[in-house]
Structures are given as C-alpha cells and as structure tokens.
Structure 1
Amino acid sequence: MAGRKKTFHGVSVGILMVKTGFRRLPGDVGHAGTWDFPVQYRVVEGATPDKMMALESSGLLDEFKAAALDLVAGGVDGIATTCGFLALYQRELTAACGVPVASSSLLQVPLAHRLIAPDKRVGILTFSRESLHASHLEAVGVAADTPVEGMPADSVFVTAIKSGDTVPRFEAMRAEVLQAAERLLGSHPDVGAIVSECANMTPFSADIAERFGIPVFDGVSLINWFQAGLRPRRYPQA
C-alpha cells in the first residue's frame, strides 16, 4: 500500500512468534540470522507450545490478530509465523490484516504436489502427529489423507522445545528429524516430496534432501517465496 504511514521502514515481513525459551538454531524461522533480508518479530505472549498443540480450543485467535495488526501498523507488508499449526487461522488472519498472510509452511503442500510425478504424494513432517488434525489441513487446501509423521513425545526435539532448553541440541535433533523422515518414507514409499510443518525443523531440511534424494519445503522456503512477492527484485537495465 503506497503512502502508508510506518513506524519502521525497510522491513517487508513480520513474523508472529510462539512464546518459547529454547535455543533456536540458525536456519530456524525464529532465528534472525536465517534471513538474507530484515524481518520484524512479534511474540504472542499467550501462545505457549502446549497451547499451540490444542489451537482449536486455545482461544488464541484474537491474540494473534492483535499481534499481526500491531506489526502491520508498524510497517510490515505481510505476516508470517513460526508455527505451522497456525494454518488453522489462515482465513481469519487474512481477513483481519489487510496485507498478505503466510500462516503456515503447509500452504506449500498443494504446490509441491503439482511439482512431482502424478503417482507420487507429498508427505508432512510435524512436531506432533496427534495434534495435526484434518481441520489444520483443510484450512490450507491439503487433502485429509496426506501422509503425516511426527516427532515422538519423549524425543530430545520435543522435550527441548517444550522445556525451554537453552543448550543447543543440533546433533540429537538432526538425528531424530532424519529418523522421522525415514519412518515417513518407509511407511509411504510413494512420497516424492516433504513439507516440514514445524519451523524448528528447517535447520535439517538440507540433511533430509541429501539423505533421501527428494525435495523438502519448509517455513524458510515459504517465507523466502513470500518476501520475493512482497519485494520483487529490481534489475538494472542496460
């Protein structure tokens, strides 16, 4: 929107963050060093990891709307998030914000499906298989029968995030995410691409793609694409 009054300038993407205390790794959506462009973060105070796992009954929609509108008022041109479960709020946030909203990496599932052979499917890796419901998928146009694999509740990946562990756990988390991808592909050999729901899995996307030889889409690929549309590159003319 040309001519908008802004408090901060030069930032196109505002990112809504879950209230966490764990050590985010480079490559995580919530790690500012991940980005080649500036982003503006806003923590939603009531959005704890446990509440995000029960988003349908959490009553957090108004808090997310308020945080998003605060970022828009400050000057961002689009809203993204650090949690794929916020797919559930895609319609409501786009209706409220007045700017484009990329609520969840799961928005990429229908696109990824069209990029691969017709006899292949897209599989989803998620923080919690039990908490990712058909309603989350439906909200962003994903088929209910899409293959899904989650992280074990007692994994280092899950317990570190839920407990707010401040020690970096790269190697342990990497091993667990690769094991989850292996389980997904072992159970569904027709999976030809993976979308990682969880923004904390993005540091390991390159490892998954290298190990299993299939494309991996995640929160970082979504926001890079999003930024490219909000702020298209200008090319010098001869």
Structure 2
Amino acid sequence: MSSDRHAVSSASTAERFYHGGKSVYGAPLGILMLDARFPRIPGDMGNATTWPFPVLYKVVKGASPDLVVLREASGTLERFIDAARELVDLGAEGITTNCGFLALFQRELQQTVPVPVLTSSLLQVAQVGRTLAPGKRVGIVTISSATLTPRHLSAAGVPPDTPIAGTDEGAEFSRVILGNELTLDRDLAERDVVTAAITLTRNHPDVGAIVLECTNMCPYANAVRCATGLPVFDIYSLVSWFQLGLAPRRF
C-alpha cells in the first residue's frame, strides 16, 4: 500500500513541476534536411505526415542531393554541424539526417553536439545482420551504387563485403531525386526500387534481409517486402526505434 502511495505521489509531483531550458517542447527528434525541392510523398522522411510523432526540421542550405550523394558532401560538414547545433538549441534531444550518405559525418556530428546522433539508415546493417540465420547476410539497396564507397560503409560500421544494388539504372527514382526534379512518377519510382531489390537477391541468394539506404525509399519498403519475401529495414524503422528511446512510452 505504501509503495503504491509513493508511486502516486511521485507521479503527481512530476506532473506538477515543469522545467524549462528549451524553445520547443514535445518534439525531441531533430531532422537535418538536404536543400532540395523534389516531391516528398507520404512515407518520405521529409514529409511531416510520415511521422506519428512531432519532429523538428532544419534545412542545410547548399547541401543538394547531387553534392551529398555524388560528391561526398564536399565542403558541407560545418554547415551540418551548425544546423545540428541549432536543432539542439531549439529543443531536439536526438539528431538524424535525411540522407544515408551522411554516414560520413557520423563521428564528427557525435563529437560536436551533446545529444545522440543517427546519421544514416546504414547504421542498422550490423544490428540486422545479427538477427539472421547462419549463412545469411544483409543486402543494401541504394540510390547510387556507383558512389556508395567503402568510406561510407566503414563510417556506418557496415562489413565491406556487404552486397549492394542501386537504382542508378532505373527510369525514375535516382534521376528525379539526384536531379532535384519537381515531378515524380510514384509507380515508376517504386518499380526502380523493387527492381534493384530483386536484382540484389538474385545476384546474392544468401541475402536474408534488406536495408534501404536512401530515406526517400521508405514509401516503397512494403512493395520490396512483397516482391522479395525478405524483411526490409529503412530509416523509418530505425528512427522509430530511436524515437522510442528519446520519448519512451509511459505505462
């Protein structure tokens, strides 16, 4: 009985006294956004309706998809650091980004902001790999297999021999995103992502799960799952896990 009273008293105290220090409350996740204008459909990380919880956004000026994906985000590190600090000042208690290629900045961002940082969907590859049966491994589907380098993989802790397939040769997805075009054919984009996943599994029968590198691929994760029969992980699955640590469910 006394322990129950103590629990009630503690809960009442927690609900009575509130502490300040931030500008915005109730949105612990901050998302660093590329400077882009291509369509962000539901399911895309940059579409606020994708998330079942509030988020904070900050666009990193000049960080175009072409620059970040095809040219290793050259010259943008300080801009990402400044933007991450702005999100923390605003109220973010955890930082993520909307491009898997920003794994290159994982360590630098961790070292310069006082909150947890999750730069890339690729950071979950090792964790997913530990769930698979012996003889199975994770495969990656990316927006640009030509420029997803060993440096990116190493920065995310991804084994260097991980199978990779890209949408580079597709009809729609890579062209629209990297070209920052204003119109996207969703069906063609989905076809590109699914085709890359099927190619990946055909070329590497030992793939037991797929990680989608690109944050813009989340709307097509279910289609990839249906086409391959394999578990599919993306930035949505990773950030959902991250958010549960930033704001645990209260029972």
TM-score by length of 1: 0.94
For 1:203 and 1:54, the matched residues in 2 are separated by 23
For 2:239 and 2:71, the matched residues in 1 are separated by 22
User: Does residue 243 of structure 2 align to residue 227 of structure 1?
Assistant: yes
Aligned partner of 1:181 in structure 2 is: 197
Aligned partner of 2:14 in structure 1 is: none
For 1:175 and 1:101, the matched residues in 2 are separated by 32
Residue aligned with 2:59, SS? strand
Residue aligned with 2:151, SS? helix
For 2:149 and 2:125, the matched residues in 1 are separated by 15
Q: How many residues align?
A: 234
1:79 to 95, 99, 107: 95
Aligned partner of 1:64 in structure 2 is: 80
User: Does residue 138 of structure 2 align to residue 108 of structure 1?
Assistant: no
Paired letter, 1:143: P
Does structure 1 retain, via aligned residues, the 8 Å contact 2:85–2:113?
yes
Question: Where do residues 196-211 of structure 1 align in structure 2 (5 Å cutoff)?
Answer: 196-211=212-227
Residue aligned with 1:53, SS? helix
Higher relative contact order (Cα pairs below 8 Å, separated by 6+ residues): 1
Instruction: Could you list the structure 1 runs, at least 4 aligned residues long, displaced by more than 4 angstroms after superposition.
Output: none
Aligned partner of 1:191 in structure 2 is: 207
* Structure 1 residues 101-156: Cα deviation after superposition (integer angstroms, max 9, x where no partner): 01000011001101111210100000100110111111121111100111125631
**What are the ranges of 5 or more consecutive residues in structure 1 without an aligned counterpart?**
none
Paired letter, 2:108: E
Root mean square deviation, CA, Å: 1.4
For 1:54 and 1:161, the matched residues in 2 are separated by 12
Paired letter, 1:188: H
User: Does residue 36 of structure 2 align to residue 20 of structure 1?
Assistant: yes
Paired letter, 1:84: G
Shift of 1:33: 0.6
For 2:71 and 2:110, the matched residues in 1 are separated by 18
For 2:51 and 2:132, the matched residues in 1 are separated by 27
For 1:54 and 1:205, the matched residues in 2 are separated by 23
Does structure 1 retain, via aligned residues, the 8 Å contact 2:167–2:174?
yes
Paired letter, 1:126: T
Aligned partner of 1:94 in structure 2 is: 110
Identity of counterpart residues, as a percentage? 47
